[in-house]
């Protein structure tokens, strides 16, 4: 369980490759000092949502809280950019703790590939042929054949990303469920997916894999020509993001459900 942060005085700054992010990092480091990743109490990430995910992956072992400011395009996981009163904002920020998904993907050569996903694990067809997937939950086959462009399993934090674009449900952060969502399902055409308990262990088997190759993607880590993919939440891994007071991740997810 996370303890409250001590009063934060030591920051380090990381920035995406975008010029505006790099320029912001230089100005902020001069203004607030840069303690370095080893000594910092909080990492300030400057970029977009993709860079936030990259920073979370890079700091998984250190578990230093991350406060993002938007110097990118989308910025759903980022706070509004401002160079003023940064320490004050961070010290009253609200914390969101998330657990990633652990993926074990087995390719056509029976080699295992392991990766963590903060947003989602997605299976995607590699050619013009639709994919055929068999889906098991906790060892029991729940769908013998799903013909589709793909499917994904999303965390609550990732439910507003690719999952939402695929018409999956938005999940409140504290709901303790995962979203299993088809991507352009052809058969059964009306299947819209399922909500699973966060303890569920999901297995995808790729049917006719020689004719209908499929890739598996955990956030930005891709494995081609998979035959099986096993996914479960890794409750031993905890990631911490900080959001401005009154603009918590939970509030953002709730607001997203009422947006046009």
Q: Which residues are annotated as a binding site for NAD(+)?
A: 49-50, 119-120, 149, 157, 160-165
The C-alpha angle 244, 177, 169, rounded to 5 degrees, equals: 75
Q: Which of 73, 53, 55 is nearest to 64 (CA)?
A: 55
Q: Hey, which bits of the chain come out as E strands?
A: 11-15, 42-47, 66-70, 94-98, 101-107, 112-117, 120-125, 131-137, 140-148, 150-154, 177-183, 194-197, 201-207, 214-218, 221-223, 226-233, 239-243
CA separation for the pair 122, 215 (Å, rounded): 8
Do the beta carbons of residue 77 and residue 47 sit within 8 Å? no
Q: Which residues, listed in sequence order, are joined to residue 178 by a DSSP beta bridge?
A: 196
Do the beta carbons of residue 28 and residue 83 sit within 8 Å? yes
Active-site residues, by number, are: 49
Q: Which residues, listed in sequence order, are joined to residue 104 by a DSSP beta bridge?
A: 114, 230
Do the beta carbons of residue 238 and residue 118 sit within 8 Å? no
Q: Which residues, listed in sequence order, are joined to residue 115 by a DSSP beta bridge?
A: 103
Do the beta carbons of residue 234 and residue 153 sit within 8 Å? no
């Amino acid at each position: 369980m996370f303890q409250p942060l001590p009063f934060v005085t030591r920051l380090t700054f990381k920035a995406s490759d975008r010029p505006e992010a790099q320029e912001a990092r230089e100005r902020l480091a001069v203004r607030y000092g840069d303690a370095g990743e080893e000594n910092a109490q909080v990492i300030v990430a400057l970029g977009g949502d993709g860079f936030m995910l990259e920073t979370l992956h890079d700091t998984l072992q250190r578990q230093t809280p991350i406060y993002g400011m938007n110097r990118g395009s989308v910025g759903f996981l980022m706070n509004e950019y401002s160079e003023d009163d940064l320490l004050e904002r961070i010290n009253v920020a609200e914390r969101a703790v998330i657990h990633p998904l652990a993926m074990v993907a087995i390719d056509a050569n029976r080699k295992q590939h392991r990766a963590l996903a903060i947003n989602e694990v997605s299976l995607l067809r590699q050619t013009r042929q639709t994919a055929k997937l068999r889906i098991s939950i906790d060892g029991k086959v729940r769908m013998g054949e799903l013909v589709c462009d793909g499917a994904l399993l999303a965390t609550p934090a990732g439910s507003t990303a690719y999952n939402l674009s695929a018409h999956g449900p938005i999940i409140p952060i504290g709901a303790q469920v995962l979203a299993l969502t088809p991507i352009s399902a052809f058969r059964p055409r009306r299947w819209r997916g399922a909500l699973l308990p966060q303890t569920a262990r999901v297995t995808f088997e790729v049917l006719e894999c020689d004719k209908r190759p499929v890739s598996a993607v955990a956030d930005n880590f891709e494995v081609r020509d998979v035959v099986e993919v096993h996914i479960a939440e890794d409750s031993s891994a905890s990631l911490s993001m900080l959001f401005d007071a009154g603009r918590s991740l939970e509030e953002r997810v709730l607001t997203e459900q009422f947006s046009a």
